[in-house]
Amino acid sequence: MTREEFLAELDGLVDLEPGTLQGPEKLEDLDQWTSMAIVGFITMADSYNGTRLGPTQIAKCATVDDLLKLAKVD
């Protein structure tokens, strides 16, 4: 999965049109960045490359780029 594909899936998790998220967006500004989106992100990261994440790690992320780094998305 490419960075763009991962971002498109993340767009879907937060009810945005594909291509909306680019990376620098602040998570606190995303209305749909909820606990359900976080669970979906954890699942995405695991299926992408087997990265096991927990809520504490995600809570330290401030931007979409931080999430991508955490999930080891190039």
pLDDT tens track for 17-44: 999 999 999 999 999 999 999 999 999 9
SS3 content of the chain, % helix, strand, coil (to 5): 55, 5, 40
Query: Model pTM?
Result: 0.92
Phi/psi for 63 (5° steps) reads: -130, 170
In one-letter notation, the amino acid at residue 29 is D
For the chain, the structural domain boundaries read 3-70
Q: Residue 58 CB: number of other CB atoms within 10 A?
A: 20
Question: Is residue 49 pLDDT above 90, yes or no?
Answer: no
Tell me the CATH architecture of domain 3-70: Orthogonal Bundle (1.10)
Give strand pairing partners of 29.
Answer: none
